[in-house]
Amino acid sequence: MVTAGELYVLTATVMALVALAAAIPVLRDIARDGRERLREGPASPVDDGDDETEGVRCPHCGTVNEVGYAYCEDCSQAL
């Protein structure tokens, strides 16, 4: 017969394994994105000739951000 403690441990183990299985693809994508960013290098400043458009263009949404920003003002993605 299975005790309540054994059932609890079994349930917790199964839930931990399911969470790990769900996290592996996310962690793999994070590592892949980090390698691509290292290969591409930092975002380069944009200068279209206007003083208002000087900054770093977001690769995700195209918004021009002020120089020195680490995240986009519009979409909050890393620059």
d(CA 1, CA 6): 10
Kindly list the domain boundaries of the chain, sorted by start residue: 1-41, 42-79
- Convert the pLDDT of each residue in 12-55 to its tens digit: 999 999 999 999 999 999 899 888 877 876 666 555 555 555 78
Model confidence, pTM: 0.42
DSSP at 23: H
Q: HSE-up of 3 (CA within 13 Å, CB side)? A: 3
DSSP at 43: P
Which pLDDT does position 22 carry in this prediction? 95
Closest by CA position to 79, among listed 35, 44, 53 = 44
